[in-house]
Amino acid sequence: MFYLVDTQTLKSFRTDFTVKVDSFEDVPEISRKILDHYVKCYSHHNFTYRILLPRAVDSHEVHNNSKKLGMFLQNEFLSGIRKAKLKANIKEFRYVHDNTYYGWILLDPSFSNHFE
């Protein structure tokens, strides 16, 4: 299901952590940090995390690379959740954060009321 949410609302939403993913080499460690936070927040239903992926307005190469970085991170993170024997109970919002980054917010569904 898709929700239309004001970009400014997404930009200003407070998350516990924000991380910039600029290279494939960073993904395993970033995924582990996100997973550690998810495990810590799992039973309290208070998980929030913002991921920033590179963006360049006039570059298809940067755009495609960002998509691949996001997919790689998502696969690593979901694989870690399965290994931890937890359920992936996550809502996500993807948006244009600014001229140099795409934003991707991962959060527990209990925070959805902030975007209605």
Identify the pLDDT of residue 2. 57
Give 57-76 pLDDT, tens digit per residue: 888 899 899 999 999 999 99
What the block records as the tokens of 89 is 């109970």
User: Sorting pLDDT into bands at 50, 70 and 90, what band is 5?
Assistant: confident
How far apart CA 90 and CA 98 sit, in angstroms, is: 24
DSSP letter (8 states) at residue 112: G
CB 75 within 8 A of CB 24: no
User: Sorting pLDDT into bands at 50, 70 and 90, what band is 115?
Assistant: confident
Q: What is the fold, at CATH topology level, of the domain defined by 15-115?
A: Translation Initiation Factor IF3 (3.30.110)
Instruction: Answer yes or no: pTM beyond 0.85.
Output: yes
Summary mean pLDDT of the chain: 92
Give 24-42 pLDDT, tens digit per residue: 999 999 999 999 999 999 9
Identify the pLDDT of residue 3. 62
User: Sorting pLDDT into bands at 50, 70 and 90, what band is 100?
Assistant: very high
Taking the alpha carbons at both ends of the chain, their separation in whole angstroms is 13
